[in-house]
Structure 1
Amino acid sequence: VAEVSYDKGAAKISRDDTRRRIVVGINVRDRDLQSVVNEIQNLVESRVQFPPGYTITYGGQFENLQSAKSRLFVAVPISLMLIFILLYIAFKSVRDTLIIFSAIPLAAVGGVLLLLIRDMPFSISAGVGFIALFGIAVLNGIVLIEHFKELKLTAFDTMEALITQGAQDRMRAVLLTASAAALGFLPMAVSTSAGAEVQRPLATVVIGGLITSTLLTLVVLPVLYALFSKVKKGNSSPGASTRAIGAALLLFMLSVPLQGQENPADLEELLEIARINNPALQAAEKQMEAADARRGTAFDFGKTEFFYNRDEANRIEDVSLNVLGIRQDFEFPTVYGARRQVQNYLAAGEKNAYQIRKKQLFLEVSNTYNQYLVALETAHIYSRLDSLYQAFEKAANRRFELGATNYLEKITATSKSREIRIQLEEARTRAGILENQIQNLVRSEQPLQLATPAPERMMLEFPIVDSLPELTRYENQQLALDKQFRLEQQQLLPGFSLQYLQGDNGMTEDWFRGYTIGLKIPLLFPGQSSRIRSARLEAEAFGDQQQEYELRLETKLDRLKDEHLQQEKALRYYEEEGLQLSKAILRTAESSYRNGEIDFFQYILSLENGYEISLEYLRQLERYNDIVLQINYLTY
């Protein structure tokens, strides 16, 4: 579901008609980002009529995609041009350069085909893979063409004989070069860990391109070389081989750094990586799977007894009785159903526990990321202040040396500069600590580069208390205890035992057979009565705990709603008035100080007031987002 909202301008229409919202359903499963945004654009253009002067923009990952595409449109031509230039420098021949350059479209064919076979759309990482592929693909052409040029110095009557010999000599080198690179990318192509959505397209392009370029290079390049070359003896340029090797190494080095480029991880990506890698969440998932596996224990019939009995007391004509048999005990049939119900509710409770742990993890990651962005923005403000106060300190020292000011102004500028520097270091240290906390929570295999957008309001989603996994877990545990109470009651029902045996009495050739059916009646059951009473009391106590927890949860939600309304008012003041006042104060103070309308101390006081408004806005925004996250991920 995509939501599009816009303001029409409260000055021209009534207050109740200041916002319009359109909700459209769009299928995004197994689709690429570009087609989804195109569909949204078509729906918005067909259903929304914007007033004059209004525009609409699409941000987030789509904005990153557009930016990456524009860079890719520049990087690919530059890469191809550099490859061509390096090949020409190595061979000093446009003909040989173009022949080797033909390996690039041959490689691109394989990359596109393997993407099609694996049902992967073209993405930015796939485009980077093509750049890496182009640098690697020409290596086979360099190896092959360079050897053909060496063989031209020997005695070959026909070009066919030269090419046949050269292809045979370099087949192993070509295959090893391509297979080594392809196998190196294979783990990335089948990766399912964090960052696999970036690695798989890149590696798929490289592997597919190397397969086709290797096969076609051994066929197409010799044909092209035969068409545009003749067998003749002569002297080769003495540095051609060295230049070719150097160009090959440089091309490979150019292709490697592109493989590790990744976009910075935003909050959505951090949550997904944390869901996959966090050890505590993995442990909760395994406990959920273990509880699900315990459902099969409901139909536990115990061990089956196989026995052999040799009876010496009842001998017939000095022949002992030999008996073989099997015995199995059974509970009353309804007992197994009651056990099954208990295990079902326990498994459902463990599933709720996993959901609770995931919600707590998401809350912790989101809150830490919000604090990290605020700490970075705070550090940026202190950095601007630090630059100003350093300049003031130098100016004050210089004016004091010239006798244009007094000692008080000099030491005041120095102390304020030191104070701001300490606050700047504190903000940077806090940002570094929060970044480490995010890395520890996410537990990525490699250090992540975090996206650092400007902090902004988070969306509020009021939860439905009755559907929270915490209360659902209490309900499942309550039902499990109720079923456990009924199970203990059913333990008073009689059980059964079945026995089948065969024996040899020595009188006949055939074995005699016997059957035994037993009924197990609990005649002495004071222990079972105690267990029944204990299960009943435990179920009743847990019901009281459930009611008390639900009351605490609703009380916390009401408190958070009140705090949200209060914080909303404070934040609205800063967004509508406070930040504009801060800019006006700083702008006026700067011009007044330059024009000599205020002295140094008034200027410092104005700067502090102006920037303090911005800092207080960040503190209020951090608190507001903290409340929103506590409501969205409500737990107790």
Structure 2
Amino acid sequence: MKKYIYILCLSLIVTLPVFSQSGIKEVLKNIEVNNPTLQAGMQLNQAQKLEARTGIFLPNPTVELNQLWADRSVGGNANELAVVQSFDFPTVYANKNKLAKLKSATSDLQYAATRQEILLTAQQTCQEIIYLRKQKQLLDQRLKNAEKLAELYRQRFANGDANRLEYNKIQLEKINANNASRLNNSALRAQLEKLQALNGGHPLDFEVTDYPQTQVLPDYSSLESEYLAADPTLKSLRSESESAQREIKVNRALTLPKFDLGYRRNGGSESKMNGFKIGLSIPLWENRNTVKQAKAQAEYTVTNILANQQTLKATLRELYLQAEALANSRNEYAEALSSQRTDELLNKALETGQISMIDYFVEITLLYDSMQNYLDVEKEYQNAVAQLLQYQL
């Protein structure tokens, strides 16, 4: 009998067929392609990569032509042509090229962090939709039960077999069930619209009604190690730190002399001369404090990595403990529900006079509240696991 009641209780929560995990996976694939934020992020990524490649080439060469005319009484004229190419010390270009590659890698990681955030939001939206659909099954059962009792007590009240107080309680239960059902429908529509918006406004055929089989969480030390190694935000910060270290080398190289090298030709009415031009800039004032600024920036990036890593570890630990607690609560609710009487059995007991109206409402309220709590705990557990495993998206 206990097993029979357990099956009936759970049937109020899950009655529709279970879909495979590919339901949510297919949604995430579509959103990765159609999401406008990710599309904009890809364009920004390309722009940042192009920006990183600017300033790594030689400056434009200069061409100068001077024409001089002498006084008529003297006669003759002179002209001068100079073609000059300026360039930094050679190590500047080597370091700038390496810096550009690091900045491009950082841009890719920043896009990866945005992608992970969007896909996590989409996954949690799918889980919220599943939760609301499971809740709808429970609320539909509650409303159906309330309508059945309302009709029964309407007839009893008309025949004088029930008093006004009992009749009013049943009517209030029906109103409450109707209100809860309307709120559920409204919330479900909102989440479906949110999912469609994440997909760039394109409709999605998402009819999943049960959560996919949850992946077993590894032990905390393994999870933390894998998460910290794969998290794109942390990887982006590490890449920024490498860029800052390379920036120091670039600025050091910029303190070295710059050169001008070119061709020069002087001509006039009587003679022409050809030669070359060599120039050297003495780095006294222009790049003062640039190396110090780059070092300070590099120190900041290292400190920022440590701060973000500690914050992330604390968040992970909190989520892991929360997931463990929710898993225990979920199992406890499932076990407790197996010993609860179903609404059908309670209705029969009320109709045959085995329990009073007050006892009925105490029992039915406890039953529905327990089932709702089970759904809430199950949803929170799924969300906690999704956040813990988001690095796998």
TM range (shorter): 0.7 to 0.9
Q: Which of 285, 291, 295 in structure 1 is aligned with 2:42? A: 285
2:111 — aligned with what?
354
1:428-472 CA distance string (max 9 Å, x none): 111111111111112143x22322322355325634313321111
Question: Following TM superposition, by how much is the alpha carbon of 1:410 offset from its aligned partner in structure 2, in angstroms?
Answer: 0.7
Q: CA RMSD in A?
A: 2.5
2:325 — aligned with what?
566
How far apart, CA to CA, are the structure 1 residues paired with 2:19 and 2:150?
A: 42
Q: Which amino acid aligns with 1:550?
A: Q
2:146 — aligned with what?
389
1:247-268 CA distance string (max 9 Å, x none): xxxxxxxxxxxxxxxxxxx311
* Cα separation, partners in 2 of 1:314 and 1:475, compared to 1, 3 Å: farther
The two structures have a TM-score, normalised by structure 2, of 0.86
How far apart, CA to CA, are the structure 2 residues paired with 1:617 and 1:455?
A: 14
Question: Following TM superposition, by how much is the alpha carbon of 1:516 offset from its aligned partner in structure 2, in angstroms?
Answer: 0.8
1:517 and 2:298 equivalent? Answer: no
1:331 — aligned with what?
88
Question: Do the aligned partners of 2:19 and 2:210 also contact (CA within 8 Å) in 1?
Answer: no
1:433 and 2:190 equivalent? Answer: yes
How far apart, CA to CA, are the structure 1 residues paired with 2:336 and 2:106?
A: 49
SS state at 2:206 partner: coil
Q: Which of 479, 487, 494 in structure 1 is aligned with 2:242? A: 479
Question: Do the aligned partners of 1:326 and 1:500 also contact (CA within 8 Å) in 2?
Answer: yes
1:466 and 2:256 equivalent? Answer: no
Question: Do the aligned partners of 2:21 and 2:212 also contact (CA within 8 Å) in 1?
Answer: no
For residues 94-493 of structure 1, the aligned pairs below 5 Å read: 266-312=23-69, 318-445=75-202, 447-455=203-211, 458-459=214-215, 462=223, 463-493=226-256
The two structures have a TM-score, normalised by structure 1, of 0.55
Question: Following TM superposition, by how much is the alpha carbon of 1:395 offset from its aligned partner in structure 2, in angstroms?
Answer: 1.8
4+ runs of 1 displaced by more than 4 Å?
313-317
How far apart, CA to CA, are the structure 1 residues paired with 2:326 and 2:72?
A: 96
Q: Which amino acid aligns with 1:455?
A: Y
1:622 — aligned with what?
379
2:9 — aligned with what?
none
Q: Which amino acid aligns with 1:605?
A: V
Question: Do the aligned partners of 1:456 and 1:621 also contact (CA within 8 Å) in 2?
Answer: no
Equivalent pairs counted in the alignment come to 368
Question: Do the aligned partners of 1:277 and 1:442 also contact (CA within 8 Å) in 2?
Answer: yes
1:497 and 2:253 equivalent? Answer: no
Question: Do the aligned partners of 1:341 and 1:483 also contact (CA within 8 Å) in 2?
Answer: yes
How far apart, CA to CA, are the structure 2 residues paired with 1:593 and 1:580?
A: 21
How far apart, CA to CA, are the structure 2 residues paired with 1:572 and 1:487?
A: 59
SS state at 2:353 partner: coil
* Cα separation, partners in 2 of 1:297 and 1:482, compared to 1, 3 Å: same
Question: Following TM superposition, by how much is the alpha carbon of 1:593 offset from its aligned partner in structure 2, in angstroms?
Answer: 3.3
* Cα separation, partners in 2 of 1:470 and 1:443, compared to 1, 3 Å: same
SS state at 1:529 partner: coil
* Cα separation, partners in 2 of 1:518 and 1:573, compared to 1, 3 Å: same
How far apart, CA to CA, are the structure 2 residues paired with 1:396 and 1:560?
A: 48
2:6 — aligned with what?
none
SS state at 1:581 partner: coil
SS state at 2:349 partner: helix
Q: Which amino acid aligns with 2:130?
A: L
Q: Which amino acid aligns with 1:386?
A: L
How far apart, CA to CA, are the structure 2 residues paired with 1:293 and 1:579?
A: 60
How far apart, CA to CA, are the structure 1 residues paired with 2:211 and 2:21?
A: 17
* Cα separation, partners in 2 of 1:437 and 1:59, compared to 1, 3 Å: closer
**Mean Cα deviation higher: 392-401 or 359-368:** 392-401
SS state at 2:289 partner: helix
Question: Following TM superposition, by how much is the alpha carbon of 1:502 offset from its aligned partner in structure 2, in angstroms?
Answer: 3.2
Q: Which of 373, 388, 392 in structure 2 is aligned with 1:631? A: 388
Question: Following TM superposition, by how much is the alpha carbon of 1:322 offset from its aligned partner in structure 2, in angstroms?
Answer: 2.4
Question: Do the aligned partners of 2:21 and 2:213 also contact (CA within 8 Å) in 1?
Answer: no
How far apart, CA to CA, are the structure 1 residues paired with 2:45 and 2:336?
A: 50
How far apart, CA to CA, are the structure 2 residues paired with 1:338 and 1:592?
A: 84
Question: Do the aligned partners of 2:19 and 2:208 also contact (CA within 8 Å) in 1?
Answer: no
Which protein is bigger by CA-based radius of gyration? Answer: 1
Q: Which amino acid aligns with 1:450?
A: F
Q: Which amino acid aligns with 1:535?
A: A
Question: Following TM superposition, by how much is the alpha carbon of 1:613 offset from its aligned partner in structure 2, in angstroms?
Answer: 2.2
2:20 — aligned with what?
60
Q: Which amino acid aligns with 1:357?
A: T
Question: Following TM superposition, by how much is the alpha carbon of 1:61 offset from its aligned partner in structure 2, in angstroms?
Answer: 8.1
SS state at 2:80 partner: strand
Structure 2 unaligned regions, length at least 5: 1-17, 218-222
Question: Do the aligned partners of 1:460 and 1:628 also contact (CA within 8 Å) in 2?
Answer: no
Q: Which amino acid aligns with 1:533?
A: K
Question: Do the aligned partners of 1:460 and 1:632 also contact (CA within 8 Å) in 2?
Answer: no
Choose between structure 1 and 2 for higher RCO, CA contacts under 8 A separated by at least 6 residues: 2
1:3 — aligned with what?
none
